[in-house]
Amino acid sequence: MIRLLSLLCLLSMPAKAEEIVLGLSRDEVAITANFDGSDILIFGAIKRDAPAPTGDKLGVIITVAGPDGPVTVRRKARRLGIWVNTDSVNVAVAPSFYAVATNMPLADVLNAEVDSKARISIANAIRTYGQMDGKEVDFEDALIRIREDQRLYQTLPDAVLVEDETLFRTNISMPANLTEGDYRAEIYLTRGGEIVDVYVTDIPVKKVGLERWLYNLAHDNALLYGLMSLAIAIAAGWGASAVFSVFKR
């Protein structure tokens, strides 16, 4: 909500000379039992009432953000021969997934001050509790590094293809380890580092089929889920034992 209010303040200007018209390759992402990731094609066009402005560079920034949530980042250290948690930092808001795709390096199409207000880059999308110092910055960097290794955070410069300063498209690859919820896609149009238009839409990511049934059963009827899991384990063990007995004969 705070981010949307910031965007509204940034865009409180006269009638737009350039406006985004957006399309998506899919309206939702379904997580099934064999889900191993998904690609989303985001494409659109820039509608104008006059010829494209000359001079300032045209920037197209596309972000896809998963559900936000607090995260506690801990540092481990070796004490008396064992690894234990030592320092920790509470991150107030961290998206579970975040991808930033641009048609040029982000610094070339977005002013740093605008980025700090709109919170577009990965570093600015994450917020800690209270005033940050060197310790908090180190822990935030560690969180970003870990989630980048898991492909949950992605910075994709030059990944947005722009044709004739009118048509644009990019492909966002989403890994298998997604958090269920509404993912927000935001498309920013910039000139001279300033945002001139923004388009926001949601992409539901949800479990379906057997995956949804098992998830609901585990959360709504834990006892039945536990008994069923136990029965399956017993049946699997008995079946394996029976097979080995046959081969021994």
Q: Which residue has the tokens 């865009």?
A: 11
For residues 210 and 153, the model is more confident at 153
Angle at 63 between CA 203 and CA 194, to 5 degrees: 135
pLDDT of residue 73: 81
Band the pLDDT of 27: cuts 50, 70, 90: low
Q: Give residues with Cβ within 8 angstroms of 66, minimum separation 6.
A: 95, 96, 97, 98, 152, 178, 179, 181, 183, 205
- How confident is the model at residue 164, as a pLDDT? 86
- Whether the pLDDT of residue 159 is over 90: the answer is yes
- Could you write out the DSSP letters of every residue in 71-122? EEEEEEEEETTEEEEEEEEEEEEEESSEEEEESS-HHHHS-HHHHHHHT-SH
* pLDDT: which is higher, 87 or 12: 87
Residue 217 has pLDDT above 60, yes or no: no
Rounded Cα gap, residues 197 and 191, in angstroms: 10
pLDDT at 76: 73
Does 8 have pLDDT greater than 80?
Answer: no
Give the orientation angle of helix 209-220 with respect to helix 222-248, to 10 degrees: 120
Rg (CA), the chain: 23
Whole-number Å distance between alpha carbons of 100 and 187: 10
DSSP letter at 181 equals E
Q: How confident is the model at residue 190 (pLDDT cuts 50, 70, 90)?
A: very high
> In the predicted model, is pLDDT for residue 5 greater than 80?
no
How far is the CA of 54 from the CAs of 13, 35, 58, 128, in angstroms? 20, 46, 9, 40
Residue whose C-alpha is closest to residue 196's, from 48, 44, 41, 51: 48
Query: What does the pLDDT look like over 116-129, one tens digit per residue?
Result: 889 999 988 887 65
CA dihedral 9, 189, 187, 59 (to 10 degrees): -130
- CB contact set of 50 (below 8 Å; sequence gap of 6+): 17
Arithmetic mean of pLDDT over the chain: 79
Determine what percent of the chain is predicted with pLDDT higher than 70: 73
**The residue type at 106:** L
pLDDT at res. 95 = 92
Which amino acid, residue 228? M
CA distance 56 to 188: 15
